[in-house]
Amino acid sequence: MAVTGAAGRIGSAVRAGLRDEVSRLVLIDRAGLTAQSPTEDVHKLDLRDAEAVTAALRGADAVVHLGGIPDEAPLPYLLDSNVQGTFSVLEGARRQGLRRVVLASSNHVTGFYPVLETVTPEMPTRPDSLYGVSKVAVEALGRLYADKFGLSVVCLRIGSFQDRVSEGRHLSTWLSPRDGLGFVRAALTACDVRFATAYAVSANTRRFWDTDSGADLGYVPMDNAESFASRIAVDGESAQSVLQGGAHTRAEYTLRHL
């Protein structure tokens, strides 16, 4: 199995969680990594280098693609890193015959829906940022490779991956490390999947994303952000508090990158 973006916050958690569960773990990142067990095979490379990515995936049976820019940035940077990098991974997976590709999408592909509306993966995307737009493109590439080349692809729309809840929006969007790893395991092992999109979010009482698709992957989240509620100040009725994307929906959030 392979993990891109293995030096990142989510990548590090996936690395630690899966290290002892696989016979070989290929770790890909442009930052230097050191193997921490005999099962780890480390590759320092740029995901935009499709040939290098293809070579690194040789012998792997699946890949969890977590590499890329994780927040708002100028669109050319996002297209270069997130979209081109995803193309390299999908093309490498196709050429090496991998059985499954798990793509890290984001909840920000639907951030302009109101918080009072329950959103399902089947509903139209409403990205709240240039970053969200790049993740819409990531999902589209995954769908293309599933439909055209028969690749098995799962897109996880990742929530707010944090050790603990630190702001009001997280009471709805929190993804605990335990549940994050659970969704990744499920995405890797779900049977009979050609293409699927699921929201990866903990079992938060106030969540506004449908999690039935996550259950279809074979995982039911266990943690609930409500346990932190008494310590968190909840936003008032500002424009950003009534939209699911929160601060990402503000014009100023993107204008500084234009």
Strand arrangement, sheet containing 100-106: 40-44, 25-29, 2-4, 62-65, 100-106, 153-158, 195-200
Say whether 96 sits in a helix, a strand or coil.
helix
Helix and strand element counts for the chain (H, E): 9, 9
Residue 240 confidence (pLDDT) = 55
What percentage of the chain has pLDDT greater than the value 90? 93
What percentage of the chain has pLDDT greater than the value 70? 96
Range of the domain at 189: 2-255
Q: Is 77 part of the annotated catalytic residue set?
A: no
Overall average pLDDT of the 125-133 stretch = 98
pLDDT band, very low/low/confident/very high, at 27 (cuts 50, 70, 90)? very high
2-14 core/surface letters (b: 16 or more CB in 10 A; e: else): bbbbbbbebbbbb
Distance CA 219, CA 156 (A): 12
pLDDT tens-digit map of 84-112: 999 999 999 999 999 999 999 999 999 99
Residue 2 has pLDDT above 80, yes or no: yes
> Which residue's structure tokens are 């055209």?
148
Cβ contacts of residue 252 below 8 Å, gap of 6+? none
**CA-CA-CA-CA dihedral for 152, 103, 195, 217, to nearest 10:** 100
Beta bridge partners of 100: 62
Residue 232 confidence (pLDDT) = 84
Output the pTM of the full model. Answer: 0.95
Residue 72 confidence (pLDDT) = 98
pLDDT band, very low/low/confident/very high, at 216 (cuts 50, 70, 90)? confident
Residue 239 has pLDDT above 60, yes or no: no
Say whether 4 sits in a helix, a strand or coil.
strand
pLDDT tens-digit map of 152-197: 999 999 999 999 999 999 999 999 999 999 999 999 999 999 999 9
* Among 113, 131, 199, 253, the one annotated catalytic: 131
pLDDT tens-digit map of 35-86: 999 999 999 999 999 999 999 999 999 999 999 999 999 999 999 999 999 9
Residue 213 confidence (pLDDT) = 62
Average pLDDT, the chain: 95
Overall average pLDDT of the 206-221 stretch = 85
Lowest mean pLDDT of 60-69, 217-226, 229-238, name the range: 229-238
Which has the closest alpha carbon to 6: 20, 27, 26, 23? 27
Cβ contacts of residue 255 below 8 Å, gap of 6+? none
List for the chain the helix, strand, coil content (%; round to 5): 40, 15, 45
- We report the CATH number of the domain holding residue 168 as 3.40.50.720
Number of domains in the chain: 1
